[in-house]
Amino acid sequence: KKIQKPSQEVKFLGIWWKGGMTCIPPDTLTSSDQIKMPESRKDLQHVLGLLVFWRKHIPDFSIIARPLYNLLRKGVKWEWTASQEEALQLLIFEATAQQALGPIHPTDP
């Protein structure tokens, strides 16, 4: 599948280009093994690493992810609470909402 016919949609370098906009490919974040609830610091780092790649598509990413990053601070004991659970669920929801980023129009305010 190296050659593709002309089309309005193409997946290139892991990014879905659709009608001049970039989107998260639907199959990227739907795999349950990529978005499982973390049981350790390493698991949380893995999940955040996956979501950080798509942070431009997630509104207020840094604000939502703050409880997760607080858990990764040095000297903080691992304790998964409802606030971390809620933050991760919201990040996953926003990432799978299929938000597209359109081209920049320099003349628009």
Which positions ≥6 away from 62 have C-beta within 8 Å?
A: 55
pLDDT (tens digit, 9 = 90+) per residue, 10-44?
A: 776 777 667 777 777 777 766 644 677 888 999 99
In a domain, 39, yes or no: yes
Specify the number of domains making up the chain. Answer: 1
Structure tokens at 51: 């979501």
- Give the type of residue at 32: S
Between vectors from CA 36 to CA 38 and to CA 80, what angle results, nearest 5°?
Answer: 30
16 touches 22 (CB < 8 A): yes
pLDDT (tens digit, 9 = 90+) per residue, 39-97?
A: 899 999 988 988 888 788 888 899 999 999 999 999 999 999 999 999 999 988 888 77
In a domain, 3, yes or no: no
In a domain, 5, yes or no: no
DSSP state of 38: P
73 touches 28 (CB < 8 A): no
pTM: 0.72
In a domain, 4, yes or no: no
Q: Which of 44, 60, 48 is nearest to 97 (CA)?
A: 60
Which positions ≥6 away from 54 have C-beta within 8 Å?
A: 24, 28, 29, 95
Containing structural domain, residue 39: 29-95
In a domain, 46, yes or no: yes
